[in-house]
Structure 1
């Protein structure tokens, strides 16, 4: 039956490009969402304090421009059936909040659910889509996260879920306001086969939680060989999520992206090395980068991860190709949960560059090697890729990571001193020069630290700490790195 449903989904949605062709999310969206750290503890002051932190820390200018308010903001509907904001939490009203965020050069996101109630049991948008889209547009909303709770049983086939989510897509489009549409249906009903038809991103898994590898019964879908999971669940670890997305990483493309869920960096459940791996993988897999920590108490260590322009440049590369997994080893040392594996991921970038991740999810440090044959497997199997015969410069994308002392100075600085500190911190301002243009100019801040070369037919080798990753950009020496083109760059 699952195969029949999948075949139906492919037949129904192949070739329809409304979702990816609305002009938004040409690269994965970046920003902040309150849910992971704060849940229902939302208010006007939270949003405005967070927006100030985004600006003062330099995170806005490095690319985090969406401020997304999650659940629990509504007090219900008025007599005409329109949603009303809770004026005790948002005394100035949503329009005023949006106006202030826009004044700061930020964009405003809100939340609802394709159900009779939201997940926190506030008023949902199912069968109220036209009214609610008008409200969002009228308030100046730029982004809608659309959840999947209390869906009245309207799921179980791709067609049922597609139709339910398409109603809001059509309603948003009819307002005339550009609103990024982010589906949060947890990967149910094969959303990776139809999400790109109506949305700018689609969740592919149950909810993340702040763990690198811990198995949890609530995230019961653990079979990495099958993406077709009946119960997507919650409490899904970083490792669980990347193993589930591996079979269909290619479904993301400019305008529509596999959403691996919000970032947990800074929430306290993982080590620094695990957060580094988490951020690297989300960037390379082209997931939206929505910070999920409380930025009002942002730590220096978290800032040095979230503000790494060389890694963000992988996420924002204009070609929009995700990395692919080219090796997975399970016969390695296990961690305290009995989990352990080593993986190699690789993918193409603009200008013929290549990104490579050596992931150590084992229970001890490891020396990991990847040959050029493996690295360019998707350009030609069995050693047939022409790139194998080239020489490659190697750049460590974490080699220029800002040190914690400088990051703390930035967090403590006042407005008149912070720009001087940014210049010391390898800070990149994407509002002045886009990542696309910076990559064309080979901006050193986006390249990482040059650490060596790989000769033709050679290998990339690095020592990788347990539960960590080493991440590299490869650039061809003298060959220009030309490769086959599989799609036009712009719609």
Structure 2
């Protein structure tokens, strides 16, 4: 196994003075983007919900099935985001309800601007005019009151494209979510630490660009998060992006990747196809000791104490 050039000290020991025993711990679940990108469907998402249960991942603590980019198809005359007619012919509500029927929670995706990353980078042209911009309360009411999703990842490709003020726009979305009266986990996907303001409006925020299925990518993301521990507290977390465990990295690389995400209190969102997980990565993703570190109710992140 390759050695790193730093020493990490984590919050491995609990103490008797945890101020908030009800603090939210990092999100654990699965997201569609790493494996499927925009090529998702009702059957794919339902199959992953089934696999989370049958593979024992639900029992290990994973609970969110998050639908990323690719489910949208413009807007209806009433302004609501329309579900893609080929990928989700019965609508997205059917899928959300199915996820809930498995005892799991359901997550959805949008953008702070007008269009999504899929429309700009993946040629998914129907994903224009489906972001929150100009529809903040309409979309919040639709996703959380009507469809009953529990989590949302809000990207920034459309926001960047429009040159929006990110703090103002992400705060407007937060306010719209609060207005629904629903308990929603709100993830900001800005691809860099946004600033201390994000702590007041969200439960997690991406700190880097997208992860890829390579050891170089994992090391780069780890390095960019080494000095962000001060911003991880009160149930709010630095999001190091989705997990690549179970794809093409070596067993030792997978172990290091998962272990670092756990002790640094990152959300744990599986990114592979759970239905085809091999024995070793599945065993790793269910490791109770590592998960216990990640889900420590103190909610603190490991930090560097010495370079060696």
What residue is the counterpart of 1:49 in the other structure? 47
Is the 1:257–1:286 Cα contact (8 Å) retained in structure 2? yes
CA distance in 1, matches of 2:235, 2:229: 15
Is the 2:117–2:155 Cα contact (8 Å) retained in structure 1? yes
Q: Which residue, 259, 268, 292 being the options, matches 2:271?
A: 292
| 1:306-325 correspondence to structure 2 within 5 Å | 306-325=285-304
1:61 deviates by 1.5
Is 1:154 equivalent to 2:190 in the alignment?
Answer: no
CA distance in 1, matches of 2:28, 2:22: 12
What residue is the counterpart of 1:211 in the other structure? 214
| 1:354-393 correspondence to structure 2 within 5 Å | none
1:274 deviates by 0.5
Q: Which residue, 63, 66, 71 being the options, matches 1:65?
A: 63
1:243 deviates by 1.2
CA distance in 1, matches of 2:230, 2:24: 15
Is the 2:113–2:162 Cα contact (8 Å) retained in structure 1? no
What residue is the counterpart of 1:125 in the other structure? 132
- After TM superposition, the score normalised by the length of structure 1 is 0.55
What residue is the counterpart of 1:238 in the other structure? 218
Is the 1:28–1:315 Cα contact (8 Å) retained in structure 2? yes
Distance 1:153 1:93, change over 3 A: closer
1:71 deviates by 0.3
Higher helix share: 2
Is 1:32 equivalent to 2:35 in the alignment?
Answer: no
Is the 1:25–1:200 Cα contact (8 Å) retained in structure 2? no
- After TM superposition, the score normalised by the length of structure 2 is 0.86
Q: Which residue, 164, 173, 178 being the options, matches 1:173?
A: 178
Is the 1:66–1:108 Cα contact (8 Å) retained in structure 2? yes
Give the secondary structure class of the aligned counterpart of 1:191.
Answer: coil
Is the 2:30–2:269 Cα contact (8 Å) retained in structure 1? yes
1:126 deviates by 1.4
Residues 75-116 of structure 1, C-alpha deviation per residue, up to 9 Å, x if partnerless? 110112111111321233222211221111100000001111
Is the 1:111–1:144 Cα contact (8 Å) retained in structure 2? yes
Give the secondary structure class of the aligned counterpart of 1:194.
Answer: helix
| 1:222-261 correspondence to structure 2 within 5 Å | 237-261=217-241
Q: Which residue, 158, 161, 169 being the options, matches 1:164?
A: 169
What residue is the counterpart of 1:193 in the other structure? 196
Q: Which residue, 283, 289, 302 being the options, matches 2:281?
A: 302
Q: Which has the larger radius of gyration?
A: 1
Would you say how many aligned residue pairs link Structure 1 and Structure 2?
A: 277
Give the secondary structure class of the aligned counterpart of 1:71.
Answer: coil
Q: Name which structure has the greater RCO, CA cutoff 8 Å, separation 6+.
A: 2
What residue is the counterpart of 2:149 in the other structure? 141
Give the secondary structure class of the aligned counterpart of 1:247.
Answer: coil
Give the secondary structure class of the aligned counterpart of 1:112.
Answer: strand
Is the 1:196–1:256 Cα contact (8 Å) retained in structure 2? yes
1:255 deviates by 2.1
CA distance in 2, matches of 1:170, 1:308: 37
Residues 256-284 of structure 1, C-alpha deviation per residue, up to 9 Å, x if partnerless? 1000000000121x110001000000010
CA distance in 2, matches of 1:63, 1:324: 24
Distance 1:199 1:25, change over 3 A: farther
Residues 201-258 of structure 1, C-alpha deviation per residue, up to 9 Å, x if partnerless? 0001111111112xxxxxxxxxxxxxxxxxxxxxxx1111111111221211232100
CA distance in 2, matches of 1:62, 1:92: 31
Q: CA RMSD in A?
A: 1.6
Superposed structure 1 runs of 4+ greater than 6 Å apart: none
